[in-house]
Every structure is written in structure tokens, then in C-alpha cells.
Amino acid sequence: MSSLSEEADRPRGSLRSRAAALDAAHPLPPVAVTEFPPLPDATLYLDGNSLGRLPMRTSARLGEAVTHEWGHGLVRSWEHWIDLPSRVGDLLAEGFLGARPGEVAITDSTTVNLYKLAHAALRDGLARDRDVVLTDAANFPTDRYVLAGLVRDLGAELVVLSLDSIGGPSAEAVADELRRRSDLANRLALVSFSHVDYRSGALADMAAINRVAHRAGALALWDLSHSVGAVPVDLTGDADETGTGAGSGADLAVGCTYKYLNGGPGAPAFLYVRREHQKRLRQPVQGWFGQRDQFAMAPEYDPAPGIDGFLTGTTPVLGAIAVETSGGLLSEIGIGRLRERSMALTGWLIDLTDAMLAPLGFTVATPRDARRRGGHVALRHPDAYRISRALTEQARVIGDFREPDLLRLAPVAASTTYTDVWDACSRIRDLVERGAHLRLDTRRSRVT
């Protein structure tokens, strides 16, 4: 690292040459080059952790779906739309989630899915006199809000751990809380965390936390929004069958498809319910897409067997088709290869930050151990908000800002080169050196 820092003081071409050498040695997968052509105006997009880019084939597929399937096929197209939730669910299960066929479906939003599964788990807990849900204060807002509403409505208690926000949740922190509050041993119904911290990018040890939760008699529900498509997830593995598998033994999960899965803005989210729990757990939103033999329209609700029983209303077809197409593309490349490249690119970004940006007041808020982080890097800077805005408006470097002082940058594996990362750091340095951000207002815009 010190060598990079020395290089940063040399003529600016030097680190750029190293970026070029890295790109030559580790080029983008050929299919990624075709699918993600450079953006107009040399825009550098490092916000795929918020909204993933549009692959060419997804653009074409959406055009076909609109014109032919909706426009001409019309209601007849439901013959092949009706299975979208489980068909795309199976694709995600195999390609990204380490789940078995029939354990994943796409439906609703992450928020609504979290509500449904947490409700199901908490009711299951209450039936065993377990009335506590555990989460952490750094969890994504919608997760905390949903859980807070649920415990209020169902008469339970939410315990919110205050954790070091860089490290994210850990098995130790959960175990400590169980020691501190001995009543939880008989009261804990559910633990719910995010796999990758939306701010720091810290990656939690899902298997270790699940073990602690299970020993305490609780279920574990994971929000995979910031990990799916960036980090291999092994929800089920084969631990339940042989007792020795690599799976994390997760019970429930939800996640977003418009970040690293490139499903497009507001594309339907997914939910995962471990096969062994599907019969016992009942979600509260009893809709016709979750009904057995849906078009019989029977008088009584009778949930469809398997994961279909966790669906609710009509599938958002266009979004589901986009997830299917983009997810298919990414699984062609392979999550292992994407993860390897992502770890290298985030490492390169951290190295360049140390070398080029640390002198300007930036510090790295993301774990430096690649195995402990997800797909994005958070840089802390007292003026992060204005820098983020100035980068977008004046330097065509698209990252994003998170309160209070974080600039998030995601060098997404399928569409970012080592040179892009250097170029972004270089533009950040130039902009901050010039003080271009200082002319902006510190008042937050509606969308940050």
C-alpha cells in the first residue's frame, strides 16, 4: 500500500498504467463487454448497488415482452407468465442463493416480503410463547420500520442491538445479548439482519449467526438486498440433509433484484422459505396468487403448496421478465467469477483511496478484508454529501451518499474495469482538490 501511495505522488499516468495492466490480465468477461457498452459522455457508473445497469439483452427482451407478449398475445400470454414467480425464483435459487428448487419466488417488494415472512415467523414464535425479535440499529431502515410495526401489531418486543456499524452484525454480538438478557433464551422468536450492511458494506457471517439463533430456538430471516448477485449466498446448502453441508441453514430470506441482479427500477423482490418450514409458516396477506388452484376461485383460502403459498397478488410481469433475463446473463458468467472479480475491484478501489484520496480527508469505512465485505466500498468524508452531488453533476462519476458522511462506490464486477476505478478516483481527487463541491448547498435534495 505504501508503494501505491508513493506512486500517487508521481506523474498521474503511473497508477493508470497499473490499472491498464490489471485490465489486460483480468479482462471483463466477453459477454459483459457486449451487454454493458460504455455509457454516454464517459459517465462512470459506480452505483450498481443502488440500481444495476441495463444489459442489452434485457432491453431487447423487454421490448419483445411489451410489443409481442402484452401487445399481441395479451391475456393469452398468461400461459407463460403465470409461472414467472417460481421460474425466476428457481433461477435465483440455483444461480445465486444456494437454495433448492421450490424455495424461492419473486413477488412484491422487499419491504412487503419482509413483512410477510417476519409476520409468519413471529406468529410461529408466539404459538410457542416466543415474543421477541432481534435486529440491529444499523440495519436498513425499511427492515427496522417493518419489524417495529410488526411487534407493535402482534404484541411482541423488538430488541435492537447497537453495533459497530463497520463490522455489521456478528454471532458474538447476538450471543452477548442472549447472555445479557437471560429471558431471551425462552422468548427469542426471530433474528433478522442484513447480509451486507447497506452503508459500510460489511458482510455478516450468516452461518455463525444462524447457529446462535437456532441454539436459542429462534428462526433467522436475512435481507440479501446488498449481497445477492455480488456475494455467493448459500442459504440452504445440504446441512439439513447430511448435517455436514456448507449451507448456512437460513430459515427465511428476502432481497432486492434491482441492484446487483440488474432487474430494473422497482423490479419485484424475492423471498426464500426453507422447504422444511413451508407447510408450517403462514404469511398474512392471503391473496389469489397464493391460492391453491387459483382460477377455481374457491370460497375459502387454501394456500398453494410450496413457495407459491407465499405469493399474494398479480405478478409485476415486466419487472419479473427483466429479472429473468438479467439474472440469466449473470448466472452465465457465474457468481463465483463475479465475486472473485468484485473482491479484486473493491480491493483496488481501497488501495487507490489510500494512495490518492486519503490526503484529501477520505477514510475507508468498509472492512479491508475482502472476505468480510460485499460489493461496494464506503468512503467517509465530512463533506461526502456535497462531493457526491458534485461528482454526479460535474464529473459524471455516479456513486451515492448515505447519511451522515458516506460516499458509496460499487465497482460492479460485470461492468467495471480497473481503469474505470482509477478514472473515478482521479476525477474525485481533481474535483475535491479544485473544491468544486464547496459551491453546492449542504441542504439535502429529496433523493440522495
Smallest gap from residue 73 Cβ to a copy of itself (A): 10
Q: In what order do the strands lie in the sheet with 157-161?
A: 104-106, 270-273, 252-255, 219-223, 188-194, 132-136, 157-161
Q: Is 279 a catalytic residue?
A: no
State the amino acid at position 169 in one-letter form: P
Catalytic residue among 36, 45, 115, 258: 258
| Secondary structure class of 190 (helix, strand, coil) | strand
- Which of 18, 116, 259, 402 does the annotation list as catalytic? 259
Least distance to a copy of itself, CB of residue 236, Å: 25
- Give catalytic status of residue 176 as yes or no: no
CA–CA distance, 259 with 64 (Å, rounded to integer)? 23
Q: Which is nearer to a copy of itself, 295 or 441 (CB)?
A: 295
Examine the residue annotation and report whether 380 is marked as an active-site residue of this protein. Answer: no
> What gap in Å lies between CA 88 and CA 334, rounded to an integer?
16
Three cell numbers written together for 414 = 460485470
Per the annotation, the verdict on 140 as an active-site residue is: yes
Give whichever of 264 and 374 is closer to a copy of itself, judged by the CB atom.
264
CA distances from 168 to 127, 200, 206 (A): 30, 8, 11
Residue with cell 447476538: 174
The answer to whether 308 is a known catalytic residue is: no
Q: Which one of 47, 131, 223, 420 is the catalytic residue?
A: 223
Nearer CB in complex with a copy of itself: 196/213: 196
Closest to a copy of itself by CB, 18 vs 195, is 195
Smallest distance, Å, CB 240 to a copy of itself?
A: 29
Instruction: Give min distance, CB of 116 to a copy of itself, in A.
Output: 9
Which residue is catalytic, options 53, 116, 187, 408? 408
Cα distances (angstroms) measured from residue 185 to each of 176, 366, 417: 12, 33, 49
Helices (H) and strands (E) in the chain, counts: 16, 13
Minimum gap (Å) between residue 402 Cβ and a copy of itself: 7
> With respect to a copy of itself, which residue has the nearer C-beta, 8 or 410?
410
Pick the catalytic residue: 140, 272, 310, 362? Answer: 140
Q: Could you list the active site residues?
A: 140, 223, 258-259, 408
